[in-house]
Amino acid sequence: MHRYRLATLLVAFLPLTALAHDFWIDPSTFRPPLGSIVQLRLRVGQNHSGDPVARNNDLIERFVAVGGARTTEVVGRDGGDPAGLVRIDQPGITIVAYRSNPSYVELSPEKLEQYFTDEGLESIRTLRLEHGESAKPWREIFSRCAKSLLLAGDQPGTGFDRKVGLRLELVPEKNPYALNPAGRLPVRLLYEGNPVEGALVIAINEAYPAQRVHARSDRNGRVTLPLAFAGNWLVEAVHVVPTPAGAKGDWESLWASLTFAVPDRAR
């Protein structure tokens, strides 16, 4: 297949529903008591509603909890749900981070074109048309980059903006646990540590999924999301890059997510 020769071309877009759905970490609580064990479920679905994903050790590249000066492995039973357990033994913010190994998918032009039509991705359709690829299948490898912010103790804590080294990473630049409902959350999207421009970043409240908010990232990878409600939030973004020569697919997509809870009132 003829390859796109724009080495710097980076395309960000919403998930292909035929490829995979949203993926996120769903903790048993975002506000664990000190000394407690939090169950960490992986979920796949849409609109912050999804099915559990059992732990698959072959698919896990990294599954850790980062808090203070410590990084610990998230333990769990292969094939189990919840996919992991973590003990919270220090106050403040703990970041749970999950990175999957890549998987391969191929979509027919019919499914892809329907997606382009539904989601208004004319630029992708145009690229395929310009390169004579409209009738060819879409071949790609994809992987997941999920994070969740937990808070223990009575103070909002620090470290919410720590970068944990996921290839695609959503980094809040304000502490979600210090927000009031109707607050605004600045978030930065980074690919291999560099800002992603033009990505569509979406935020969905678990109780009000139809009232999602979204924005396109600026040249510094930043968006500001107005979060109108308290409760559990899922922020997500997808980034697609051309694969290197010789790779199985023609594109690589990375799917980032971030979950946290906004309190009824700021602490």
- Find the domain containing 124 and state its range: 11-262
The reported pLDDT for the residue numbered 18 is 40
- CA separation for the pair 202, 248 (Å, rounded): 29
- 67: part of which helix (H) or strand (E)? strand 60-67
Give the C-alpha distances (Å, rounded to integers) separating 11 from 6, 63, 145, 200, 257: 11, 27, 17, 10, 17
- Report yes or no on 267 lying in a domain: no
DSSP state of 119: H
- Report yes or no on 77 lying in a domain: yes
Partner residues linked to 154 by β-bridges:
none
- Report yes or no on 147 lying in a domain: yes
pTM of this prediction?
Answer: 0.88
- Report yes or no on 4 lying in a domain: no
Peptide bond preceding 52 in cis form (omega within 30 of 0): no
Average pLDDT per run of 10 along the chain, which is 267 residues long?
32 39 94 96 90 96 94 97 96 97 86 57 70 83 95 90 97 95 94 92 94 93 96 92 81 92 79
What's the half-sphere exposure (Cβ side, CA atoms, 13 Å) at 71?
A: 9
The reported pLDDT for the residue numbered 122 is 55
The reported pLDDT for the residue numbered 14 is 36
Amino acid letter for position 239: H
- CA separation for the pair 54, 164 (Å, rounded): 23
Rounded to the nearest 5 percent, the helix, strand and coil shares of the chain are 10, 45, 45
Residues 6 or more apart whose Cβ sits within 8 Å of residue 198: 10, 12, 216, 217
The reported pLDDT for the residue numbered 114 is 61
Give the C-alpha distances (Å, rounded to integers) separating 19 from 41, 142, 197, 218, 227: 21, 9, 23, 27, 28
Instruction: Look at the chain and count its residues.
Output: 267
- Report yes or no on 33 lying in a domain: yes
- Report yes or no on 48 lying in a domain: yes
- Report yes or no on 207 lying in a domain: yes
CB of 63 within 8 A of CB of 101? Answer: no
The total number of structural domains that make up the chain: 1
